[in-house]
Amino acid sequence: CQENGIKMRGHTLIWHNQTPSWLFYKNYDVKSGKLADAKTMAKRMESYIKQVITHCQKKYPGVVYAWDVVNECV
C-alpha cells in the first residue's frame, strides 16, 4: 500500500470467531473455567484495539484510513 499510494481499510479488530479463547477468561486461564467480568473484558478490548491501531499508525503512517473495529457484534 505504501509503495503504491493505496489507502487501506483495517478489518477487523474484534471478532468472536477469530479471538483466542484465553482472552475471555479470568487471568487468561481457560482451565479455571471462570470467565472474565464485563469490566475486565472492556479494558482488555480497549487495550488491544489501542495497541494495534498505534502500531499500524507508527509503522504505516497514513495508510489505514478507517477501521472495522467489531465484526458480527451480538
- Indicate the SS3 state at residue 59: helix
Over residues 45-69, mean pLDDT? 95
Place 16 in a pLDDT band, splitting at 50, 70 and 90: confident
- Partners of 67 in beta bridges: 10
Over residues 51-69, mean pLDDT? 95
Place 24 in a pLDDT band, splitting at 50, 70 and 90: very high
Q: List pLDDT tens digits, range 40-51.
A: 999 999 999 999
What is the value of pTM for the model shown? 0.82
Q: Is 23 within 8 Å of 16 (Cβ atoms)?
A: no
